């Protein structure tokens, strides 16, 4: 919900100046009358960003030093605190980096099945490398593998979205996990993803808030619960959080709280000392270095959406509609051929792996709801005959 005082119209957000009020309200009306998951709703071109949702997987890792330094801590409670710090910094990149002024949030492009993305970051311990693939389209599921061989740390992560509209707000339920493994300690962490609300739609100033709780559970029996709250109609601080780190069955060791897009502090509950935790405004994010465009094939995200992104940058919405429809129709044609031939799309890097480990079950107990019975695990390149960013078949 926008924080309008009712004493005048709110300014139109940057990026929406070229959109008429009637077009915007027509879009809101479509949201309000649409039944089903919003991922199946064809959004008007003016609400789209030029970035595929698959690329969002990289935003979690734009502070690579925080990521690789998780392995530097000898005590499991301190490793858990380091995981929490990386996670909270990642939230800022994932959900607010494109919209610091709160008013320019747009809908990412829905990745096509088989879309690929590659990149890396340099760190003090070695190169951090990412491989991402869209492993499902209906419903949409993105999977990624991030690995720093020298640090002995790896991530398998996937997410799926279910979304709907209620009143004045779009609500997004994120289904999936981040799974971190530390080789040195043979330790694994399971992290859940926050639920999202997209506020400010009625005033053409859309911005993201997080709500509810997320959890981090490790095989060392340490758990973190993170509670989110935002600015309500009358009170509250936007983007607030409180995180409690504790060993299962024991009192808290640490409590971190503050604003996940700003500053936060952490208290050691044993020594009663409080110290700075994160100051997002002073942190320099390092964007991913994508694999060179000339080295990847037509299934790499920049190849898939290049013409659409270019047209969006020029506000050429008629061209956006044409190019986007071309991509989507080629996918429908491919699915039809597969159905006729009785074949199933073969994923290049990931496969679904059941998981009934003690840590996964502990996560389910902590969250007190049903957790997915597995995860998308990186299995290496199953199509080495193809260049990176390609598949044995073409879109058209």
Inter-residue contact 142 to 135 (CB < 8 Å): yes
- pLDDT 10s digits, 19-32: 667 777 787 777 87
Strand runs (DSSP E) across the chain, as ranges? 48-52, 107-109, 116-123, 126-137, 140-148, 153-166, 169-182, 187-192, 195-199, 207-218, 222-229, 240-247, 252-259, 263-268, 273-279, 289-290, 350-354, 374-378
Task: Compute the average pLDDT of residues 186-204.
Answer: 87
Q: Does the pLDDT value for residue 33 go beyond 60?
A: yes
Q: Does the pLDDT value for residue 234 go beyond 60?
A: no
pLDDT value, residue 356: 74
Other Cβ atoms closer than 10 A to 377: 16
H or E element, residue 93 = helix 76-95
pLDDT value, residue 1: 32
What is the radius of gyration, based on Cα positions, of the chain? 21
pLDDT value, residue 80: 98
pLDDT value, residue 363: 77
- pLDDT 10s digits, 88-107: 999 989 888 765 533 467 88
pLDDT value, residue 183: 98
* Distance separating alpha carbons of residues 192 and 41, to the nearest angstrom: 26
Helix axes 301-313, 317-341, angle to 10 degrees: 150
* Distance separating alpha carbons of residues 60 and 287, to the nearest angstrom: 10
Inter-residue contact 294 to 386 (CB < 8 Å): no
169-182 vs 140-148, strand pairing mode:
unpaired
pLDDT value, residue 102: 35
Other Cβ atoms closer than 10 A to 102: 20
Beta bridge partners of 154: 147, 181
The model carries a pTM of 0.88
pLDDT value, residue 201: 78
Give 8: exposed, middle or buried? Use CB within 10 Å, 0-12, 13-18, 19+: exposed
317/101: higher pLDDT: 317
pLDDT value, residue 165: 79
The most confident of the ranges 17-26, 88-97, 114-123, 133-142 is: 114-123
DSSP state for residue 90 in the 8-state scheme: H
Task: Compute the average pLDDT of residues 269-283.
Answer: 95
For every residue of 295-348, DSSP letters joined together read GS-TTBHHHHHHHHHHHHHTT-HHHHHHHHHHHHHHHHHHHHHHHHHT--PPPS
Task: Provide the terminal-to-terminal Cα distance of the chain, rounded to the nearest Å.
Answer: 43
Assigned token pair, 205: 């100033």
User: Hey, where are the domains in the chain?
Assistant: 21-290
pLDDT value, residue 163: 79
Strand runs (DSSP E) across 183-247, as ranges? 187-192, 195-199, 207-218, 222-229, 240-247
pLDDT value, residue 354: 86
* Distance separating alpha carbons of residues 107 and 309, to the nearest angstrom: 13
What lies within 8 Å, CB to CB, of 55 at 6+ separation is: 108, 117, 132, 301
The CATH architecture assigned to 21-290 reads Beta Barrel (2.40)
Inter-residue contact 140 to 159 (CB < 8 Å): no
238/380: higher pLDDT: 380
Task: Compute the average pLDDT of residues 299-311.
Answer: 95
Residue carrying structure tokens 């709500």: 211
Task: Compute the average pLDDT of residues 159-167.
Answer: 81
């Amino acid at each position: 919900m926008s924080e309008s005082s009712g004493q005048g119209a709110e300014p139109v957000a940057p990026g929406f100046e070229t959109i008429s009020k009637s077009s915007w309200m027509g879009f809101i009306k479509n949201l309000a009358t649409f039944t089903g998951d919003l991922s199946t709703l064809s959004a008007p071109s003016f609400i789209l960003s030029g970035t595929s949702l698959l690329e969002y997987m990289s935003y979690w890792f734009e502070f690579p030093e925080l990521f690789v330094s998780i392995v530097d801590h000898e005590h499991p409670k301190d490793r858990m605190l380091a995981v929490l710090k990386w996670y909270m910094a990642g939230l800022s990149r994932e959900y607010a980096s494109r919209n610091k002024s709160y008013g320019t949030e747009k809908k990412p492009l829905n990745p096509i099945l088989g879309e690929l993305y590659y990149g890396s970051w340099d760190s003090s311990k070695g190169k951090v490398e990412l491989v991402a693939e869209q492993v499902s389209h209906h419903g949409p599921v993105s999977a990624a593998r991030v690995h720093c061989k020298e640090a002995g740390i790896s991530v398998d992560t996937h997410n799926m979205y279910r979304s709907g509209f209620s009143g004045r707000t779009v609500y997004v339920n994120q289904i999936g996990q981040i799974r971190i493994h530390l080789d040195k300690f043979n330790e694994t962490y399971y992290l859940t993803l926050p639920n999202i609300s997209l506020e400010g739609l009625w005033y053409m100033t859309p911005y993201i808030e997080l709500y509810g709780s997320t959890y981090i559970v490790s095989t060392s029996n340490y758990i973190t619960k993170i509670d989110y709250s935002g600015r309500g109609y009358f009170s509250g601080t936007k983007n607030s959080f409180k995180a409690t780190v504790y060993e299962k069955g024991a009192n808290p060791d640490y409590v971190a709280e503050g604003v996940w897009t700003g500053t936060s502090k952490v208290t050691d509950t044993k020594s009663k000392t409080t110290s700075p935790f994160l100051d997002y405004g002073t942190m320099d994010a390092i964007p991913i270095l994508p694999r060179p465009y000339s080295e990847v094939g037509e299934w790499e995200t920049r190849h898939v959406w290049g013409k659409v992104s270019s047209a969006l940058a020029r506000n050429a919405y008629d061209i956006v509609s044409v190019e986007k429809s071309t991509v989507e129709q080629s996918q429908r044609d491919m699915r039809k051929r597969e159905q006729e031939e009785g074949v199933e799309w073969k994923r290049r890097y990931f496969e679904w792996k059941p998981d009934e480990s003690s840590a996964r079950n502990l996560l389910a107990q902590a969250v007190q709801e049903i957790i997915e019975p597995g995860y998308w695990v990186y299995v290496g390149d199953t199509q080495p005959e193809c260049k990176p960013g390609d598949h044995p078949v073409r879109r058209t």
